[in-house]
Amino acid sequence: MISVNADEPPTYVWHLPRGFPTPLVPADNPMSVAKVALGKRLFFDSRLSLTSTYSCASCHDPARAFTDARALAVGATGQVLNRNAMALVNVAYNVSYGWSNVKVKTLEAQMHQPLFNVHPLEMGLAGREASVVKILSADTDYIDAFRASFPDEPSISIANMIRAIACYERTLISGNSPFDRYVFNGEHDAINDSAKRGMKLFYSSRLGCANCHAGFNFTGTAVYDGHTVAAAAFARNGVGSQSMRVPTLRNIALTAPYMHDGRYKNLDAVITHYETATTTTKADKKLRKFKLTSDERQALLAFLESLTDDEFIRTNRVQ
């Protein structure tokens, strides 16, 4: 990881799970080791919020696959938001960001919402940009980190703060679950027989789970290097009438409660919902009506639990 030009930040080298493509990176925000390290520090820094008590990690806790265990997210001032916090798992491959806005196409663009939203207020930085820059500029470690990350722009700025956080978030790649070891590494004992039966159910036409949750990231569609054009997968899941973006199922056992409004406390309740979701008038045509036996239900739950990547959680846990 040595650059040709000594003044440039060291090049970032991807270490990707087997079967995973190289993430797509914006031309105006290339990855670097220094930038990722800076972005990680900023991600956990509560001084970036209005109250100086809230950080990005307050809604995206690494121990919970970067979610917050709340039905609805809560902002820095305690204001309850109108959506469940989405997991930041494999977001480097997202076609769009957020539950419902197809126009937000990059992590850099997405970050403007939590940082600057007023209604609802999340981090509450709108109008405080100069204050945040002043705070960071008083920290010599930050001064050095920004210089190492952006050698052509020596001054600390909000724009570069956003770029650094986005680079860090692109590294949050999960692909070493028991499922991955079974499918991509050929470790036949990585998942038990119950999970294997659940996997067959998941991919069966009877249940149709993979009609929405398809592909290596279980999101239906993805973008990556060499595959830059795709439409985000949206579906009406029988909860309300609005189509919502299909979220990843990776580490799903750690991200309760579920749905965009957090109405279901556990995966068993989610399965029960989908058994009858087609009876709602606004349900998506991709959904199937089905009824599971007790053994089938346990098998499907075992498969979903096999998507938990313990190494990802352990590696990203704050020490």
When pLDDT is cut at 50, 70 and 90, the band that residue 7 belongs to is low
Spatial CA neighbour of 43 closest among 24, 59, 32: 59
**Nearest 10 degrees: Cα torsion 22, 28, 30, 34:** -150
Gap between the terminal Cα atoms of the chain: 25
How many C-alpha atoms does 218 have within 13 Å on its Cβ side? Answer: 22
CB contact burial 298-307 (16+ within 10 A = b; e otherwise): bbbbbbbbbb
Question: Does residue 80 sit in the same domain as residue 148?
Answer: yes
Tokens standing for 191?
Answer: 């998942």
What's the domain range around 218?
178-316
Question: Does residue 200 sit in the same domain as residue 108?
Answer: no
When pLDDT is cut at 50, 70 and 90, the band that residue 9 belongs to is low
Q: Contact, 85 vs 68, CB < 8 A?
A: yes
pTM listed for this prediction: 0.95
Question: Does residue 164 sit in the same domain as residue 229?
Answer: no
- State which of 105, 136, 170 marks the end of a domain: 170
Beta bridge partners of 258: 264
Q: Quick check: 146 pLDDT over 50?
A: yes
Question: Does residue 191 sit in the same domain as residue 278?
Answer: yes
Is residue 20 in a domain? no
Cα 279-285-289 angle, rounded to 5 deg: 45
Is residue 59 in a domain? yes
User: In terms of C-beta density within 10 A (0-12 exposed, 13-18 middle, 19 or more buried), how is residue 287 classed?
Assistant: buried
pLDDT tens digits for range 273-304: 999 998 876 788 899 999 999 999 999 999 99
Tokens standing for 209?
Answer: 């789970």
CATH number for the domain that contains residue 50: 1.10.760.10
Integer angstrom CA distances of residue 64 from 69, 169, 313: 7, 15, 8
Question: Does residue 197 sit in the same domain as residue 287?
Answer: yes
- Coil, strand or helix at 264: strand
Question: Does residue 275 sit in the same domain as residue 225?
Answer: yes
pLDDT tens digits for range 12-64: 999 999 999 999 999 999 999 999 999 999 999 999 999 999 999 999 999 99
Q: Quick check: 3 pLDDT over 90?
A: no
Is residue 71 in a domain? yes
Cα 107-112-113 angle, rounded to 5 deg: 100
Question: Does residue 212 sit in the same domain as residue 125?
Answer: no
pLDDT tens digits for range 246-263: 999 999 999 999 999 999
